[in-house]
Amino acid sequence: MSHDHTESTTPVPDLRTAELAEPGAVTIVVPTFNESANIRRLLHQITESVPARLPCEVVFVDDSTDDTPEVVRDAAKDCPYPVTVIHREEPVGGLGGAVVEGIKAAGSDWIVVMDGDCQHPPSLVPELVATGERSGAGLVVASRYIKGGSRAGLAGSYRVAVSRGATWLTKSLFPRRLHGISDPMSGFFAIRRSAVTADVLKPLGYKILLELAVRSRPRRVSEVPFVFQDRFAGESKSSAQEGLRFLRHLAGLRTASPAARMVGFGLIGLTGFLPNLLGLYALTAAGLHYVPAEILANQLGVAWNFVLIEHLLFRDRRSHRRWWDRAGRFALLANADLVLRIPLIALFVHRFGMGALSATALALVTTFVLRFAGTEALVYLPRRGPRGARTAARRTAARRAA
């Protein structure tokens, strides 16, 4: 990662050593990806509405492949407040990861996160901070869905439907964590620096507010209505790929607890019956005996389950072992499940006098729990001891530097 600090009419502070700004000041964090056509207008809007009401600085965290950093550097010369650019060569975590970088660099008590496409009005920044100060809230969300707010800037009925669907889904999955937040999809909010620990955040994609609310939600939350503006220039970064990342992010957040992971593990296991049965049908139709056909078809189900749990349940725990090591261990556990189940059924029937049906059901539950515990302990937990810690640290550092 490289850090390019721009020049402005006020000297840009070294954010690694600068003391906290005075209380009530604000750091505006703007994640950008190819937004060069919007930069001058955005900084002009900030200049017109923020510095006269409270001290501010602006931190752009940029993942662009165009000339956005150079445009920021040039436009900052006319700004009466510090402007900083952090350009990331590798956009780890997407726009959400960029926001986390900005939070780490912020030098003020309050941090306001907003998009760089001029759809979030900077004139609302002082009101967000003032609301937080008045109410004692740690998080103030600019909402399109309370009285006085509007999603007018969403282009087309398709984006409106996607936004409403995503909002409904997230609030259904996290009713307690998102209580009092009407617009969890908002990218415009203010948070106290003391209310967030950036190191616990694991963003994936552009819905950083959801990440903040679920992993480190402040006790008190307030909302301010805002009207979502039309994009000034450029194109929306929403895409099918971002939609998939959002769903993966939701799955990771929902399965953060062991109990939720176990439920997810079981549901994924059930889906594995489909490739298993399809494989068995194809192999027996080709003339293979049903016993070796079942053994081979079972491997299709194992592979299916492995891919899903890798991406939906244990995405953040894959750095401790190489993929082939994880796949081999998972396959061994999955096939051991079949080998263990028959002796268990026999034990329950002959030793404890259970019926065949109840013994089979109990054996299924037992081997499922053992397989889940084994998967966590033997596949996705880090190796114990200094060697394992060093290996994980080296892989994490290499991934970040890549």
User: Of 6, 11, 79, which is closest to residue 43 (Cα–Cα)?
Assistant: 79
**Full set of structural domains in the chain with CATH:** 2-254 (3.90.550.10), 258-401 (no CATH)
**Residue 2 pLDDT greater than 60, yes or no:** no
Q: Which amino acid, 394?
A: R
pLDDT in tens, 339-358: 887 788 888 888 888 887 88
Higher pLDDT, 332 or 237: 332
Residue 237, pLDDT score:
53
Q: Where are the alpha helices (DSSP H) in 143-218?
A: 156-173, 208-216
Look up tokens 């296991």; give the residue.
Answer: 269
pLDDT in tens, 215-227: 777 788 999 998 8
Q: Which amino acid, 68?
A: T
User: Of 84, 98, 64, 90, which is closest to residue 208 (Cα–Cα)?
Assistant: 98
Higher pLDDT, 26 or 169: 26
Higher pLDDT, 259 or 346: 346
User: Of 162, 176, 267, 260, which is closest to residue 207 (Cα–Cα)?
Assistant: 162
Contacts of 361 (CB under 8 A, 6+ apart): none
Whether residue 2 contacts residue 89, with contact meaning beta carbons closer than 8 Å, is answered with: yes
Q: What is the mean pLDDT of residues 335-342?
A: 80
pTM comes to 0.62
Q: Collapsing DSSP states into helix, strand and coil, what is residue 226? A: coil
CA pair distance 400, 333, nearest whole angstrom: 31
**What would the DSSP string read from start to end of 232-271?**
-SS-----HHHHHHHHHHHHHHHT-SHHHHHHHHHHHHHH
CA pair distance 207, 185, nearest whole angstrom: 6
**Torsion angle of the four alpha carbons 159, 162, 163, 164, in this order, in degrees rounded to the nearest 10:** 120
Most confident of 92-96, 110-114, 242-246, 271-275: 110-114
